[in-house]
C-alpha cells in the first residue's frame, strides 16, 4: 500500500490578499484524507507547520515582502517534506500561497536530485527582486527553484539550482509580467500557454510535459496552483485570471500524470476560502488530487 503524508503550510506571507492561510483547512474540510483512503492509500495528516502572522511583522523590503518570515517557513517546510520522503511517503503539501514551493521543491531536490517539475499555473512565478512589480514572493518561487533570485532563498538547503530547466514545464500560463516574460524566455524551461493548450489539446500538452519532466529518474513533482483553472470552476483563488483550464482539462491532466506512474510529490496551493463560494475551490482541489492519485470513472 502506498503511503501518503499530508502537510499543511498555511502561509499568506507571499501575497497581499488575506485568507489563503485557511486553504489547508478548506481542503481538509472537503474530505481530502478520507477520499484518498477510499482509493486504497495509507494517509497520515501531520497537521500544519507553524507560520508567522503577517500583521505581527513589519515589511522591511518592499521588493521582497516578509522575506525573513518566508525564508523561515520555507526552511521548516523543507525539513518536514524531506523527512516525509525519506520515510517513504509521497508528500501532499497544502498551501497557503505559492511561495511555499520554495521549501517543498528544495526537499524533493534533496531526496531525488534527478526529478522533474510540472508547474500548473496561470502565472509564470518567475519574477525576481529586480523584475517584480509587487514585491510579493508568491510570484517568485519557480525562479528561485531554477537558481534566480535572492541568494538566501536560492541557496536554501545548501545547493542551487534545485531543478534543471530542461526538466521543467509550465502549463496553463496566461498572465505574465513584462520583465518576467524575458526571464522566462531566457530560462530554458518549456512553457505551454493557454493558447497552446487550446491549439494542441490538453492530452498532447500533458504527454509532452510528462516526457520532459520525467526525463530524469527522480520522478515528477507537481506544483498545482488552483488559479490555473478558469475562475468559473475555482472562484476562491487570490489572483484569478479568465480563460483558464476547464474542469475536464484539469482532470485529464491529473489522470495522465497518475497513469505515468512518475508522481513523487505535489503542492496544492492558492485556495482562498474567503473569496470562495460554498468551498467550491476546496472541493475542486480534492477532486483534482483524487484524479492525481488514480481515481477514474471505471
Active site residues: 98, 121, 123, 125, 138, 225, 227, 270
* Cβ–Cβ < 8 Å for 20, 238: yes
C-alpha cell at 84: 516525509
Alpha-carbon torsion angle 203, 99, 180, 250, nearest 10: 20
* Cβ–Cβ < 8 Å for 26, 271: yes
Helix (H) or strand (E) holding 46: strand 42-48
Strand partners, 91: 5
Q: How far apart are CA 293 and CA 298, in angstroms?
A: 14
Q: How far apart are CA 13 and CA 99, in angstroms?
A: 8
Q: How far does Cα 156 stand from its chain's mean position?
A: 18
Nearest to 91 by CA among 295, 293, 294: 293
CA torsion through residues 226, 231, 237, 238, sign: positive
Amino acid at each position: 500500500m502506498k503511503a501518503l503524508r499530508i502537510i499543511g503550510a498555511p502561509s499568506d506571507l507571499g501575497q497581499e490578499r488575506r485568507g489563503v492561510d485557511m486553504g489547508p483547512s478548506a481542503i481538509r474540510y472537503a474530505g481530502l484524507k478520507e477520499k484518498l483512503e477510499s482509493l486504497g492509500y495509507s494517509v497520515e495528516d501531520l497537521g500544519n507547520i507553524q507560520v508567522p502572522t503577517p500583521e505581527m511583522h513589519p515589511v522591511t523590503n518592499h521588493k521582497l515582502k516578509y522575506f525573513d518570515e518566508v525564508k523561515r517557513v520555507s526552511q521548516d517546510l523543507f525539513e518536514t517534506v524531506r523527512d516525509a520522503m525519506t520515510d517513504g511517503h509521497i508528500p501532499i503539501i497544502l498551501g497557503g500561497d505559492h511561495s511555499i514551493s520554495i521549501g517543498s521543491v528544495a526537499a524533493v531536490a534533496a531526496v531525488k536530485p534527478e526529478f522533474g517539475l510540472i508547474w500548473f499555473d496561470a502565472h509564470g512565478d518567475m519574477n525576481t527582486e529586480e523584475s517584480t512589480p509587487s514585491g510579493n514572493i508568491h510570484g517568485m518561487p519557480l525562479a528561485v527553484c531554477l537558481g534566480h533570485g535572492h541568494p538566501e532563498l536560492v541557496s536554501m538547503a545548501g545547493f542551487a539550482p534545485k531543478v534543471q530547466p530542461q526538466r521543467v514545464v509550465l502549463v496553463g500560463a496566461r498572465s505574465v509580467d513584462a520583465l518576467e516574460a524575458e526571464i522566462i524566455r531566457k530560462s530554458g524551461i518549456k512553457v505551454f500557454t493557454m493558447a497552446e493548450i487550446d491549439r494542441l489539446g490538453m492530452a498532447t500538452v500533458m504527454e509532452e510535459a510528462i516526457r520532459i519532466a520525467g526525463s530524469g529518474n527522480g520522478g515528477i513533482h507537481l506544483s498545482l496552483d488552483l488559479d490555473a483553472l478558469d475562475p468559473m470552476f475555482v472562484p476562491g483563488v487570490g489572483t484569478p485570471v479568465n480563460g483558464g483550464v476547464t474542469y475536464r482539462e484539469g482532470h485529464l491532466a491529473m489522470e495522465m500524470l497518475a497513469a505515468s506512474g512518475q508522481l513523487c510529490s505535489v503542492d496544492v496551493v492558492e485556495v482562498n476560502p474567503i473569496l470562495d463560494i460554498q468551498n467550491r475551490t476546496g472541493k475542486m482541489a480534492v477532486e483534482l488530487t483524487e484524479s492525481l492519485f488514480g481515481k477514474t470513472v471505471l
